[in-house]
Amino acid sequence: MVMDYSLPEDSLFLGFDSSTQSLKATVLDTNLNIIASETVHFDSELPHYKTKDGVYRDPSGTGRIVSPTLMWVEALDLILEKFVNAGLDFGKIVAVSGSGQQHGSVYWKKGSSATLASLNPEKPLLTQFGDAFATKESPIWMDSSTTVECREIEKVVGGALQLSQLTGSRAYERFTGPQIRKIYKTLPDVYHDTERISLVSSFMASILIGSYASIDETDGSGMNLVDIRQRVWSKIALEATAPGLEEKLGKLAPAHAVAGLIAPYFVERFHFRNGCLVIQWSGDNPNSLAGLTLNKPGDLAISLGTSDTIFGITNEPHPGLEGHVFPNPVDPKCYMVMLCYKNGSLTREDVRNRCAEQSWDVFNKFLEITPPLNGGKLGFYYKEHEILPPLPVGFHRYVLENFTGDSLYGLKEHEVDGFDAPSEVRAIIEGQLLSMRAHTERFGMPSPNRLIATGGASANQSILKAIASIFASDVYTVQRPDSASLGAALRAAHGWLCNKAGKFVPISCMYDNKLEKTSLACHLSMPAGDAQLLSKYTLLMKKRMEIEDQLVQKLGRS
Protein backbone atom coordinates (compact mmCIF):
# COMPACT_ATOMS: atom_id res chain seq x y z
CA MET A 1 0.00 0.00 0.00
CA VAL A 2 1.32 3.44 -0.90
CA MET A 3 1.29 5.78 2.10
CA ASP A 4 -0.36 9.14 1.68
CA TYR A 5 2.08 11.76 2.96
CA SER A 6 0.02 14.78 1.99
CA LEU A 7 -0.76 17.52 4.45
CA PRO A 8 -4.40 18.37 5.15
CA GLU A 9 -6.03 20.77 2.64
CA ASP A 10 -6.50 24.40 3.65
CA SER A 11 -4.51 24.04 6.88
CA LEU A 12 -1.76 26.10 8.48
CA PHE A 13 1.40 25.34 10.46
CA LEU A 14 2.81 27.81 12.97
CA GLY A 15 6.50 28.00 13.96
CA PHE A 16 8.04 30.27 16.60
CA ASP A 17 11.62 31.28 17.26
CA SER A 18 12.26 32.43 20.82
CA SER A 19 15.71 33.87 20.31
CA THR A 20 18.07 36.23 22.12
CA GLN A 21 16.81 39.57 20.82
CA SER A 22 13.29 38.77 19.69
CA LEU A 23 10.41 36.33 19.40
CA LYS A 24 9.58 35.61 15.76
CA ALA A 25 6.91 33.48 14.15
CA THR A 26 6.22 32.13 10.67
CA VAL A 27 3.05 30.54 9.28
CA LEU A 28 3.20 28.01 6.44
CA ASP A 29 0.27 26.79 4.36
CA THR A 30 -0.31 23.25 3.07
CA ASN A 31 1.97 23.94 0.10
CA LEU A 32 4.76 25.01 2.47
CA ASN A 33 4.55 28.63 1.46
CA ILE A 34 4.93 31.43 4.00
CA ILE A 35 1.61 33.24 4.42
CA ALA A 36 2.36 35.34 7.51
CA SER A 37 5.16 36.29 9.87
CA GLU A 38 5.52 38.52 12.93
CA THR A 39 8.26 39.65 15.31
CA VAL A 40 8.40 41.06 18.83
CA HIS A 41 11.70 42.81 19.45
CA PHE A 42 12.43 42.65 23.17
CA ASP A 43 14.43 45.86 23.80
CA SER A 44 12.13 48.15 21.82
CA GLU A 45 8.70 46.51 22.22
CA LEU A 46 9.00 45.36 25.83
CA PRO A 47 11.18 48.23 27.13
CA HIS A 48 9.98 47.87 30.75
CA TYR A 49 12.32 44.86 31.16
CA LYS A 50 15.23 47.21 30.44
CA THR A 51 17.20 44.56 28.55
CA LYS A 52 20.06 45.43 26.20
CA ASP A 53 20.06 43.02 23.24
CA GLY A 54 17.45 40.97 25.12
CA VAL A 55 19.75 40.26 28.07
CA TYR A 56 21.20 41.51 31.35
CA ARG A 57 25.00 41.45 31.64
CA ASP A 58 26.56 41.40 35.09
CA PRO A 59 28.40 44.75 35.25
CA SER A 60 31.02 43.37 37.64
CA GLY A 61 32.51 41.27 34.85
CA THR A 62 31.76 37.75 36.14
CA GLY A 63 30.49 36.73 32.70
CA ARG A 64 27.03 36.09 34.12
CA ILE A 65 24.39 36.81 31.43
CA VAL A 66 20.68 36.19 31.97
CA SER A 67 17.30 37.14 30.54
CA PRO A 68 14.07 37.85 32.43
CA THR A 69 11.97 34.70 32.03
CA LEU A 70 8.70 36.66 32.17
CA MET A 71 9.71 38.72 29.12
CA TRP A 72 9.51 35.58 26.99
CA VAL A 73 6.02 34.87 28.44
CA GLU A 74 4.76 38.38 27.71
CA ALA A 75 6.21 38.24 24.18
CA LEU A 76 4.14 35.12 23.44
CA ASP A 77 0.83 36.87 24.18
CA LEU A 78 2.01 39.92 22.25
CA ILE A 79 2.98 38.07 19.08
CA LEU A 80 -0.32 36.17 19.07
CA GLU A 81 -2.17 39.49 19.39
CA LYS A 82 -0.22 40.77 16.38
CA PHE A 83 -1.47 37.78 14.39
CA VAL A 84 -5.04 38.52 15.54
CA ASN A 85 -4.66 42.09 14.28
CA ALA A 86 -3.25 40.80 11.00
CA GLY A 87 -6.38 38.66 10.54
CA LEU A 88 -4.75 35.21 10.88
CA ASP A 89 -7.35 32.45 11.03
CA PHE A 90 -6.10 30.53 14.09
CA GLY A 91 -8.78 27.88 13.50
CA LYS A 92 -6.85 26.63 10.46
CA ILE A 93 -3.65 25.94 12.40
CA VAL A 94 -3.38 22.17 12.84
CA ALA A 95 0.11 22.04 14.38
CA VAL A 96 2.50 24.38 16.16
CA SER A 97 6.17 24.03 17.01
CA GLY A 98 9.06 26.30 17.86
CA SER A 99 12.73 27.01 18.27
CA GLY A 100 14.40 28.18 21.44
CA GLN A 101 17.79 29.81 21.77
CA GLN A 102 19.86 26.80 22.81
CA HIS A 103 21.11 26.09 26.36
CA GLY A 104 19.01 28.73 28.23
CA SER A 105 17.12 27.32 31.21
CA VAL A 106 13.98 28.01 33.27
CA TYR A 107 13.45 26.92 36.89
CA TRP A 108 9.77 26.21 37.61
CA LYS A 109 8.90 26.61 41.26
CA LYS A 110 7.22 23.75 43.17
CA GLY A 111 3.47 23.93 42.52
CA SER A 112 3.74 25.55 39.09
CA SER A 113 2.38 22.53 37.24
CA ALA A 114 -0.97 23.50 38.80
CA THR A 115 -0.58 27.08 37.49
CA LEU A 116 0.11 25.73 34.02
CA ALA A 117 -2.92 23.47 34.10
CA SER A 118 -5.37 26.21 35.12
CA LEU A 119 -4.62 29.22 32.94
CA ASN A 120 -7.44 31.75 32.87
CA PRO A 121 -8.19 32.93 29.30
CA GLU A 122 -9.61 36.20 30.64
CA LYS A 123 -6.17 37.32 31.84
CA PRO A 124 -2.88 37.78 30.02
CA LEU A 125 -0.22 35.11 30.60
CA LEU A 126 2.09 37.58 32.31
CA THR A 127 -0.17 38.09 35.32
CA GLN A 128 -0.49 34.34 35.82
CA PHE A 129 3.20 33.41 35.83
CA GLY A 130 4.50 36.12 38.17
CA ASP A 131 5.16 33.60 40.95
CA ALA A 132 5.91 30.50 38.88
CA PHE A 133 9.70 30.49 38.87
CA ALA A 134 12.27 29.63 41.54
CA THR A 135 14.46 32.32 39.96
CA LYS A 136 13.14 35.08 37.71
CA GLU A 137 16.36 35.23 35.69
CA SER A 138 17.17 32.55 33.15
CA PRO A 139 20.84 31.89 32.39
CA ILE A 140 21.32 32.00 28.62
CA TRP A 141 23.82 30.87 26.01
CA MET A 142 25.92 34.06 26.30
CA ASP A 143 26.82 33.28 29.92
CA SER A 144 30.46 32.38 30.55
CA SER A 145 30.49 32.22 34.35
CA THR A 146 30.68 28.46 34.89
CA THR A 147 34.28 27.52 34.05
CA VAL A 148 34.78 25.91 37.50
CA GLU A 149 31.66 23.79 37.10
CA CYS A 150 32.75 22.71 33.60
CA ARG A 151 36.07 21.38 34.91
CA GLU A 152 34.31 19.65 37.84
CA ILE A 153 31.88 17.82 35.55
CA GLU A 154 34.59 16.81 33.08
CA LYS A 155 36.72 15.43 35.94
CA VAL A 156 33.96 13.16 37.27
CA VAL A 157 33.11 11.85 33.80
CA GLY A 158 36.79 11.02 33.07
CA GLY A 159 37.97 14.09 31.17
CA ALA A 160 36.87 16.56 28.51
CA LEU A 161 37.23 14.10 25.63
CA GLN A 162 35.25 11.39 27.41
CA LEU A 163 32.43 13.85 28.13
CA SER A 164 32.48 14.92 24.49
CA GLN A 165 32.38 11.35 23.20
CA LEU A 166 29.41 10.66 25.45
CA THR A 167 27.38 13.87 25.14
CA GLY A 168 28.68 15.36 21.86
CA SER A 169 30.54 18.27 23.46
CA ARG A 170 33.15 18.84 26.13
CA ALA A 171 31.78 20.97 28.98
CA TYR A 172 31.04 24.51 27.80
CA GLU A 173 30.18 27.40 30.10
CA ARG A 174 26.86 28.08 28.36
CA PHE A 175 25.70 24.45 28.33
CA THR A 176 22.80 23.79 30.68
CA GLY A 177 24.47 21.10 32.84
CA PRO A 178 27.23 23.45 34.07
CA GLN A 179 24.60 26.19 34.52
CA ILE A 180 22.43 23.89 36.64
CA ARG A 181 25.45 22.82 38.69
CA LYS A 182 26.27 26.46 39.41
CA ILE A 183 22.72 27.10 40.62
CA TYR A 184 22.83 23.97 42.77
CA LYS A 185 26.12 25.13 44.34
CA THR A 186 25.54 28.87 44.69
CA LEU A 187 21.75 29.10 45.06
CA PRO A 188 20.80 25.84 46.80
CA ASP A 189 17.37 27.20 47.77
CA VAL A 190 16.54 27.87 44.13
CA TYR A 191 17.60 24.35 43.19
CA HIS A 192 15.59 22.88 46.05
CA ASP A 193 12.48 24.96 45.21
CA THR A 194 12.56 23.84 41.58
CA GLU A 195 10.13 21.10 40.52
CA ARG A 196 11.02 21.19 36.81
CA ILE A 197 13.89 22.56 34.74
CA SER A 198 12.98 23.46 31.17
CA LEU A 199 15.09 24.64 28.26
CA VAL A 200 13.83 27.76 26.49
CA SER A 201 12.36 25.40 23.87
CA SER A 202 10.51 23.08 26.25
CA PHE A 203 9.53 26.07 28.40
CA MET A 204 7.58 27.72 25.59
CA ALA A 205 6.05 24.37 24.60
CA SER A 206 4.95 23.88 28.23
CA ILE A 207 2.98 27.13 28.17
CA LEU A 208 1.31 26.13 24.92
CA ILE A 209 0.18 22.72 26.23
CA GLY A 210 -0.56 23.84 29.79
CA SER A 211 1.71 21.22 31.39
CA TYR A 212 5.40 20.37 31.49
CA ALA A 213 6.64 19.50 28.00
CA SER A 214 9.52 17.07 27.57
CA ILE A 215 12.95 18.26 26.53
CA ASP A 216 13.61 17.00 23.00
CA GLU A 217 16.63 14.80 22.31
CA THR A 218 18.31 17.34 20.06
CA ASP A 219 18.10 20.49 22.17
CA GLY A 220 18.76 18.27 25.22
CA SER A 221 22.18 17.57 23.71
CA GLY A 222 23.12 21.18 24.42
CA MET A 223 23.16 20.35 28.13
CA ASN A 224 26.20 18.01 28.49
CA LEU A 225 23.69 15.53 29.95
CA VAL A 226 22.45 13.37 27.04
CA ASP A 227 24.11 10.22 25.72
CA ILE A 228 23.86 11.23 22.05
CA ARG A 229 24.07 7.71 20.60
CA GLN A 230 21.42 6.20 22.86
CA ARG A 231 19.41 9.44 23.01
CA VAL A 232 18.82 9.02 26.78
CA TRP A 233 19.95 10.92 29.88
CA SER A 234 23.47 9.84 30.82
CA LYS A 235 23.50 8.65 34.45
CA ILE A 236 27.13 9.56 35.00
CA ALA A 237 26.70 13.06 33.57
CA LEU A 238 23.56 13.60 35.69
CA GLU A 239 25.42 12.52 38.83
CA ALA A 240 28.38 14.76 38.00
CA THR A 241 26.03 17.74 37.69
CA ALA A 242 23.62 17.82 40.64
CA PRO A 243 21.76 15.39 42.93
CA GLY A 244 18.16 14.44 42.15
CA LEU A 245 18.45 16.00 38.69
CA GLU A 246 16.70 13.40 36.54
CA GLU A 247 13.45 13.93 38.40
CA LYS A 248 13.62 17.67 37.73
CA LEU A 249 14.28 17.16 34.01
CA GLY A 250 11.47 14.73 33.18
CA LYS A 251 11.65 12.46 30.14
CA LEU A 252 13.34 13.10 26.81
CA ALA A 253 11.26 12.95 23.62
CA PRO A 254 12.16 12.80 19.93
CA ALA A 255 11.80 16.18 18.18
CA HIS A 256 9.05 14.85 15.87
CA ALA A 257 6.84 13.72 18.79
CA VAL A 258 3.64 15.41 19.91
CA ALA A 259 4.26 17.39 23.12
CA GLY A 260 0.51 17.72 23.74
CA LEU A 261 -2.63 19.46 22.55
CA ILE A 262 -2.92 23.23 22.63
CA ALA A 263 -4.18 24.38 26.06
CA PRO A 264 -7.75 25.71 26.48
CA TYR A 265 -6.26 29.17 27.23
CA PHE A 266 -5.21 29.51 23.57
CA VAL A 267 -8.41 28.00 22.23
CA GLU A 268 -10.56 30.44 24.13
CA ARG A 269 -8.40 33.56 23.92
CA PHE A 270 -7.10 33.26 20.35
CA HIS A 271 -9.54 30.73 18.82
CA PHE A 272 -7.01 28.03 18.04
CA ARG A 273 -8.90 24.87 17.11
CA ASN A 274 -9.45 22.25 19.78
CA GLY A 275 -7.04 19.43 19.10
CA CYS A 276 -4.34 21.56 17.47
CA LEU A 277 -1.09 19.62 17.99
CA VAL A 278 1.92 21.10 19.69
CA ILE A 279 4.98 19.32 18.33
CA GLN A 280 8.11 19.22 20.50
CA TRP A 281 10.07 22.45 20.26
CA SER A 282 13.81 22.22 19.65
CA GLY A 283 16.91 24.43 19.48
CA ASP A 284 17.19 27.30 17.00
CA ASN A 285 20.22 25.92 15.19
CA PRO A 286 18.76 22.40 14.82
CA ASN A 287 15.49 23.85 13.53
CA SER A 288 17.43 26.02 11.07
CA LEU A 289 19.03 22.82 9.81
CA ALA A 290 15.51 21.54 9.14
CA GLY A 291 14.29 24.83 7.63
CA LEU A 292 17.24 25.02 5.27
CA THR A 293 16.53 21.41 4.21
CA LEU A 294 20.15 20.38 4.74
CA ASN A 295 20.29 16.74 3.69
CA LYS A 296 23.77 15.97 2.30
CA PRO A 297 27.15 15.98 4.09
CA GLY A 298 28.42 18.62 1.58
CA ASP A 299 25.69 21.10 2.60
CA LEU A 300 26.91 23.65 5.12
CA ALA A 301 24.88 26.45 6.68
CA ILE A 302 26.25 29.68 8.08
CA SER A 303 23.90 31.39 10.49
CA LEU A 304 24.71 35.03 11.21
CA GLY A 305 22.38 35.97 14.08
CA THR A 306 23.27 37.22 17.55
CA SER A 307 25.67 34.27 17.56
CA ASP A 308 27.41 33.06 14.44
CA THR A 309 27.17 29.34 13.84
CA ILE A 310 28.22 27.02 11.07
CA PHE A 311 26.68 23.59 10.79
CA GLY A 312 26.16 20.56 8.61
CA ILE A 313 25.11 16.92 8.86
CA THR A 314 27.03 13.69 9.30
CA ASN A 315 26.18 10.01 9.58
CA GLU A 316 29.25 9.18 11.65
CA PRO A 317 29.94 11.66 14.42
CA HIS A 318 33.42 12.11 15.91
CA PRO A 319 32.95 14.47 18.85
CA GLY A 320 36.22 16.06 19.96
CA LEU A 321 37.54 18.90 22.05
CA GLU A 322 36.14 21.54 19.71
CA GLY A 323 32.63 21.93 18.32
CA HIS A 324 29.38 20.11 19.01
CA VAL A 325 27.47 17.06 17.82
CA PHE A 326 23.69 16.95 18.25
CA PRO A 327 21.20 14.32 17.07
CA ASN A 328 19.55 15.55 13.85
CA PRO A 329 16.04 16.76 14.79
CA VAL A 330 14.45 15.42 11.60
CA ASP A 331 16.38 12.16 11.15
CA PRO A 332 16.74 9.71 14.05
CA LYS A 333 19.73 8.00 12.41
CA CYS A 334 21.81 11.04 11.65
CA TYR A 335 23.60 13.88 13.48
CA MET A 336 24.35 17.55 13.06
CA VAL A 337 27.79 19.05 13.66
CA MET A 338 28.18 22.67 14.65
CA LEU A 339 30.62 25.38 15.67
CA CYS A 340 29.39 28.43 17.60
CA TYR A 341 30.83 31.92 18.01
CA LYS A 342 29.59 34.41 20.58
CA ASN A 343 31.00 37.46 18.79
CA GLY A 344 28.59 37.56 15.86
CA SER A 345 26.15 40.34 14.98
CA LEU A 346 26.60 42.40 18.13
CA THR A 347 30.35 42.66 17.54
CA ARG A 348 29.77 43.56 13.85
CA GLU A 349 27.33 46.22 15.09
CA ASP A 350 30.02 47.56 17.41
CA VAL A 351 32.42 48.05 14.48
CA ARG A 352 29.59 49.53 12.38
CA ASN A 353 28.80 52.01 15.17
CA ARG A 354 32.42 52.98 15.81
CA CYS A 355 33.68 53.12 12.23
CA ALA A 356 30.75 53.32 9.82
CA GLU A 357 28.41 56.02 11.12
CA GLN A 358 26.06 53.39 12.59
CA SER A 359 24.97 52.51 9.07
CA TRP A 360 25.08 49.17 7.25
CA ASP A 361 25.22 51.14 3.98
CA VAL A 362 28.46 52.86 5.02
CA PHE A 363 29.74 49.55 6.43
CA ASN A 364 29.07 47.90 3.05
CA LYS A 365 30.67 50.75 1.14
CA PHE A 366 33.84 50.21 3.22
CA LEU A 367 33.72 46.49 2.46
CA GLU A 368 33.45 47.24 -1.25
CA ILE A 369 36.33 49.78 -1.40
CA THR A 370 38.86 47.66 0.52
CA PRO A 371 40.66 44.86 -1.35
CA PRO A 372 40.22 41.17 -0.47
CA LEU A 373 43.00 40.08 1.97
CA ASN A 374 42.90 43.63 3.41
CA GLY A 375 46.59 44.26 2.64
CA GLY A 376 47.58 41.64 5.26
CA LYS A 377 45.62 43.25 8.11
CA LEU A 378 44.24 40.70 10.57
CA GLY A 379 41.85 41.51 13.41
CA PHE A 380 40.50 39.53 16.38
CA TYR A 381 37.43 41.19 17.89
CA TYR A 382 36.10 39.82 21.16
CA LYS A 383 33.55 42.20 22.59
CA GLU A 384 32.23 39.29 24.67
CA HIS A 385 34.18 36.31 26.07
CA GLU A 386 34.56 34.16 22.96
CA ILE A 387 33.62 30.48 22.80
CA LEU A 388 35.80 29.59 19.81
CA PRO A 389 38.66 30.13 20.58
CA PRO A 390 38.11 30.46 24.34
CA LEU A 391 39.48 34.00 24.71
CA PRO A 392 38.54 36.87 27.02
CA VAL A 393 37.19 40.26 25.98
CA GLY A 394 39.76 42.21 23.94
CA PHE A 395 40.67 43.42 20.44
CA HIS A 396 43.95 42.36 18.77
CA ARG A 397 45.12 43.74 15.44
CA TYR A 398 48.13 42.69 13.35
CA VAL A 399 49.70 43.70 10.05
CA LEU A 400 51.55 41.10 7.98
CA GLU A 401 54.34 43.06 6.38
CA ASN A 402 54.51 42.83 2.57
CA PHE A 403 51.80 40.15 2.40
CA THR A 404 50.95 39.37 -1.23
CA GLY A 405 49.17 36.08 -0.63
CA ASP A 406 51.82 34.07 -2.52
CA SER A 407 53.90 32.77 0.36
CA LEU A 408 54.24 32.96 4.13
CA TYR A 409 58.01 32.49 3.88
CA GLY A 410 59.94 35.06 5.91
CA LEU A 411 56.76 36.95 6.65
CA LYS A 412 56.63 38.94 9.90
CA GLU A 413 53.61 40.36 11.64
CA HIS A 414 53.48 43.24 14.07
CA GLU A 415 50.71 44.24 16.43
CA VAL A 416 49.05 47.66 15.97
CA ASP A 417 46.57 49.64 18.06
CA GLY A 418 44.09 50.35 15.33
CA PHE A 419 43.22 50.27 11.63
CA ASP A 420 41.68 52.98 9.47
CA ALA A 421 37.87 52.69 9.44
CA PRO A 422 37.43 50.84 6.11
CA SER A 423 40.17 48.32 7.02
CA GLU A 424 38.56 47.73 10.42
CA VAL A 425 35.28 46.84 8.69
CA ARG A 426 36.99 44.39 6.33
CA ALA A 427 39.11 42.98 9.16
CA ILE A 428 36.13 41.97 11.28
CA ILE A 429 34.28 40.34 8.39
CA GLU A 430 37.33 38.52 6.97
CA GLY A 431 38.47 37.59 10.48
CA GLN A 432 35.17 35.97 11.46
CA LEU A 433 34.92 34.06 8.18
CA LEU A 434 38.56 32.91 8.13
CA SER A 435 38.09 31.61 11.66
CA MET A 436 34.98 29.68 10.59
CA ARG A 437 36.78 28.15 7.63
CA ALA A 438 39.82 27.21 9.70
CA HIS A 439 37.83 25.66 12.50
CA THR A 440 35.46 23.72 10.23
CA GLU A 441 38.54 22.23 8.54
CA ARG A 442 40.14 21.47 11.92
CA PHE A 443 36.86 19.90 13.08
CA GLY A 444 36.87 17.63 10.02
CA MET A 445 33.73 19.04 8.37
CA PRO A 446 33.78 18.40 4.62
CA SER A 447 34.51 21.42 2.43
CA PRO A 448 31.16 22.75 1.29
CA ASN A 449 29.46 21.90 -2.02
CA ARG A 450 27.15 24.76 -1.25
CA LEU A 451 26.81 27.19 1.62
CA ILE A 452 23.42 28.38 2.79
CA ALA A 453 23.44 31.65 4.68
CA THR A 454 20.76 32.58 7.21
CA GLY A 455 20.21 34.84 10.25
CA GLY A 456 19.81 38.64 10.37
CA ALA A 457 23.14 39.48 8.67
CA SER A 458 22.49 37.12 5.75
CA ALA A 459 20.38 39.96 4.29
CA ASN A 460 23.68 41.78 3.63
CA GLN A 461 24.96 41.16 0.07
CA SER A 462 28.45 42.51 0.80
CA ILE A 463 28.86 40.00 3.62
CA LEU A 464 27.59 37.21 1.33
CA LYS A 465 30.23 38.21 -1.21
CA ALA A 466 32.99 37.86 1.40
CA ILE A 467 31.65 34.38 2.31
CA ALA A 468 31.69 33.33 -1.37
CA SER A 469 35.33 34.46 -1.69
CA ILE A 470 36.74 33.03 1.52
CA PHE A 471 35.09 29.62 1.10
CA ALA A 472 35.18 29.73 -2.74
CA SER A 473 31.67 28.33 -2.61
CA ASP A 474 28.33 29.35 -4.09
CA VAL A 475 26.24 31.02 -1.40
CA TYR A 476 22.50 30.38 -1.21
CA THR A 477 19.79 32.00 0.86
CA VAL A 478 16.13 31.26 1.53
CA GLN A 479 13.19 33.64 1.20
CA ARG A 480 13.47 35.01 4.73
CA PRO A 481 16.53 35.22 6.97
CA ASP A 482 14.76 33.59 9.93
CA SER A 483 15.23 29.92 9.12
CA ALA A 484 14.70 28.98 12.79
CA SER A 485 10.99 29.91 12.82
CA LEU A 486 10.57 28.62 9.26
CA GLY A 487 12.17 25.32 10.31
CA ALA A 488 9.91 25.19 13.35
CA ALA A 489 6.81 25.60 11.14
CA LEU A 490 8.13 22.87 8.85
CA ARG A 491 8.75 20.61 11.84
CA ALA A 492 5.19 21.32 13.01
CA ALA A 493 4.00 19.91 9.66
CA HIS A 494 6.44 16.99 9.93
CA GLY A 495 5.27 16.18 13.46
CA TRP A 496 1.66 16.33 12.29
CA LEU A 497 2.47 13.82 9.53
CA CYS A 498 4.39 11.46 11.83
CA ASN A 499 1.46 11.55 14.24
CA LYS A 500 -0.98 10.74 11.45
CA ALA A 501 1.20 7.88 10.18
CA GLY A 502 1.71 6.59 13.72
CA LYS A 503 5.45 6.30 13.03
CA PHE A 504 8.45 8.36 11.97
CA VAL A 505 8.17 9.50 8.35
CA PRO A 506 11.20 10.97 6.53
CA ILE A 507 10.74 14.74 6.32
CA SER A 508 11.69 14.77 2.62
CA CYS A 509 8.36 13.00 1.88
CA MET A 510 6.69 16.36 2.51
CA TYR A 511 8.54 18.27 -0.14
CA ASP A 512 9.94 15.71 -2.60
CA ASN A 513 9.58 16.99 -6.16
CA LYS A 514 8.07 20.28 -5.09
CA LEU A 515 10.80 21.89 -2.97
CA GLU A 516 11.49 24.51 -5.63
CA LYS A 517 7.86 25.61 -5.57
CA THR A 518 7.83 26.24 -1.81
CA SER A 519 9.15 28.95 0.50
CA LEU A 520 11.85 26.47 1.51
CA ALA A 521 13.63 26.74 -1.84
CA CYS A 522 17.24 27.96 -1.66
CA HIS A 523 18.30 30.55 -4.24
CA LEU A 524 21.79 31.27 -5.45
CA SER A 525 22.65 34.68 -4.01
CA MET A 526 26.38 34.92 -4.69
CA PRO A 527 28.55 32.82 -7.00
CA ALA A 528 31.77 31.33 -5.63
CA GLY A 529 34.91 33.48 -5.59
CA ASP A 530 37.86 32.45 -7.77
CA ALA A 531 40.37 29.71 -6.98
CA GLN A 532 43.42 31.97 -7.08
CA LEU A 533 41.99 34.18 -4.37
CA LEU A 534 41.04 31.08 -2.40
CA SER A 535 44.68 29.95 -2.22
CA LYS A 536 45.72 33.39 -0.97
CA TYR A 537 43.02 33.28 1.69
CA THR A 538 44.28 29.81 2.64
CA LEU A 539 47.69 31.29 3.48
CA LEU A 540 46.13 34.17 5.40
CA MET A 541 44.01 31.65 7.31
CA LYS A 542 47.09 29.62 8.28
CA LYS A 543 48.79 32.72 9.59
CA ARG A 544 45.66 33.73 11.45
CA MET A 545 45.48 30.34 13.18
CA GLU A 546 49.14 30.61 14.23
CA ILE A 547 48.40 33.97 15.86
CA GLU A 548 45.15 32.68 17.34
CA ASP A 549 46.94 29.69 18.91
CA GLN A 550 49.51 32.06 20.43
CA LEU A 551 46.73 34.24 21.85
CA VAL A 552 45.09 31.18 23.38
CA GLN A 553 48.42 30.10 24.93
CA LYS A 554 48.88 33.57 26.38
CA LEU A 555 45.37 34.60 27.39
CA GLY A 556 43.08 31.59 27.04
CA ARG A 557 41.07 29.93 29.77
CA SER A 558 42.13 26.37 30.54
Give the footprint of ligand XUL on this chain (CB under 6 A).
Answer: 19-20, 101-103, 141, 174, 222, 283-285, 307, 309, 340
d(CA 437, CA 419): 23
Q: Which of 201, 241, 345, 370 binds ligand ADP (CB under 6 A)?
A: 345
> Binders of ligand ADP: how many residues, by CB under 6 A?
16
DSSP calls for 64-80? -EEEEHHHHHHHHHHHH
Indicate the residue among 139 and 305 with the shorter CB distance to ligand ADP: 305
Least distance (Å) from ligand XUL to the CB of residue 174? 5
Indicate the residue among 283 and 389 with the shorter CB distance to ligand XUL: 283
Q: Which of 164, 460, 469, 525 binds ligand ADP (CB under 6 A)?
A: 460
Q: Which stretch binds ligand ADP (CB under 6 A): 138-146, 220-228, 388-396, 455-463?
A: 455-463
* Helix 531-555 vs helix 461-470: crossing angle, to nearest 10: 90
Least distance (Å) from ligand ADP to the CB of residue 302? 12
Taken as a whole, the chain contains a residue count of 558
Residue 439 interacting partner from ligand XUL, ligand ADP, none (CB closer than 5 to 8 Å by kind): none
d(CA 456, CA 345): 8
Q: Which of 70, 157, 457, 493 binds ligand ADP (CB under 6 A)?
A: 457
Least distance (Å) from ligand XUL to the CB of residue 499? 27
Residue 217 near residue 178, CB atoms below 8 Å: no
DSSP calls for 31-70? TS-EEEEEEEEHHHHSGGG--BTTBEE-TTSS--EEEEHH
232-233 and 226-227 as β-strands: parallel, antiparallel, unpaired? antiparallel
Q: Which of 317, 455, 495, 529 binds ligand ADP (CB under 6 A)?
A: 455
**Start-to-end CA span in the chain (Å):** 58
* Helix 160-167 vs helix 147-157: crossing angle, to nearest 10: 80
Which residues between 56 and 85 bind ligand ADP (CB under 6 A)?
none
Q: Which of 349, 384, 430, 474 binds ligand ADP (CB under 6 A)?
A: 349
Indicate the residue among 49 and 504 with the shorter CB distance to ligand XUL: 49
In one-letter notation, the amino acid at residue 141 is: W
Q: Which residue is nearest to ligand ADP (CB)?
A: 456
Least distance (Å) from ligand ADP to the CB of residue 201? 14
Query: Which residues make Cβ contacts (< 8 Å) with residue 341, sequence separation at least 6?
Result: 307, 308, 309, 386, 387, 388, 432, 435, 436
Which residues between 14 and 33 bind ligand ADP (CB under 6 A)?
19-22
Please give the order of strands across the beta sheet that includes 413-416.
377-382, 394-400, 413-416
Q: Which residues bind ligand ADP (CB under 6 A)?
A: 19-22, 305-306, 345-346, 348-349, 360, 455-457, 459-460
